[in-house]
Structure 1
C-alpha cells in the first residue's frame, strides 16, 4: 500500500508573505530612475490606507485575492501602511479606526513604473488595460474580521 500523502509546503503565495520587502525589491529601488509620482484620488478610484501593514495584508488574504490578478495594491514600508485602490466614490465604506480614505481633493504617492521606492512600491501592479479595483464593501468586511496575531501585540 502506498504511503499516505502528507501535506506539502504551501506553494501559493499569500499577501501576508509580503510583510517585509525582499532583497530584489531593495535593489530595484536603489537603481530605479523613475521612482514615484503624485496622482489625484477620487476620479478613477479612491485609496484606502490601512495601518498597520499587517492588518491590510491579512484582510487581502481573507478576501483570497490572487497576488498577480492586477488588483492595484501599494505598500508603504516606511510608514508600514497598505494602500488598496477601490472604485471611486466607494472608499467611505472603509471608514474604520486605523483607516484613512483618500478621495477627491487628495493626492497619493504611487510607484512610477514597476518598482517605486520603500515609501510606495507595487505589491500588485494594476492590470495594464483595466485595473481590477478591490470591492470596498468586501474589504471593509475583511478588515472587521479579527486577526488574532495582531491582538497579541
Structure 2
C-alpha cells in the first residue's frame, strides 16, 4: 500500500533525476541523484548530525527545521547527507557539488543502505544552509575517551 510519505518522496526523487534516468528508476526503484543540479549535499558523520540535533534544544540554537526536508543516512559508512541549496557553504562540513551522485532507494525499502531520516514533503524545501552552518559552528566538540574517564 502506498502512503503519502512514499508518494511525496518518490515524486521528489523523480523531480531530482535527469529525465533520461526515469525509466531505470521506475524499473529498479534505485536511483543515482546528481548533486549540483537541484541541490548540493552537506556530508557529515552521523555523530555530528546527532550532536546538532541534541544541541539544538539544549543550547537554544536557532531552529534547524528538518520536518518535510530530505535527510538521508548511509549506515554502511555512518554518513548523513543533507540536500542544501546549490552553492551553499558550510564551514567545517564537506559540501558535495556537481559531479557527485547520491544513491537512494524507494521509500518502501527500509532495509536498503540509504535510510531516510527526514522525508521530503510538499512543498519541496531544503534545510536552510545558514541555520545548518550556525548549528555546526556552535555544537560542542565531541568528548574524547580521556574526558569520558574523568
Q: Give the TM-score normalised by structure 2.
A: 0.63
- Counterpart check, 1:146 vs 2:144: no
1:44 counterpart residue number: 38
CA–CA separation in structure 2 for the residues paired with 1:111 and 1:100: 23
What do you get for the CA RMSD once the two structures are aligned?
2.5
CA–CA separation in structure 2 for the residues paired with 1:60 and 1:131: 22
Q: Where in structure 2 are there 5+ consecutive unaligned residues?
A: 1-26, 57-61, 146-150
- Counterpart check, 1:124 vs 2:118: yes
How far 1:134 sits from its partner (Å)? 0.8
For residues 51-70 of structure 1, what are the structure 2 equivalents within 5 Å? 51=45, 53-61=46-54, 62=56, 64-65=63-64, 69-70=67-68
Distance 1:60 1:131, change over 3 A: farther
CA–CA separation in structure 2 for the residues paired with 1:112 and 1:45: 19
The 8 Å contact of residues 75 and 121 in structure 1, kept in 2 or not, is answered as yes
How far 1:116 sits from its partner (Å)? 4.8
CA–CA separation in structure 2 for the residues paired with 1:109 and 1:76: 9
SS for the counterpart of 2:68 is: coil
The 8 Å contact of residues 69 and 127 in structure 2, kept in 1 or not, is answered as yes
Distance 1:124 1:114, change over 3 A: farther
Total equivalences in the alignment? 113
- The C-alpha deviation readout for 1:103-124, integer Å capped at 9, x for no partner, is 1121111232344545311011
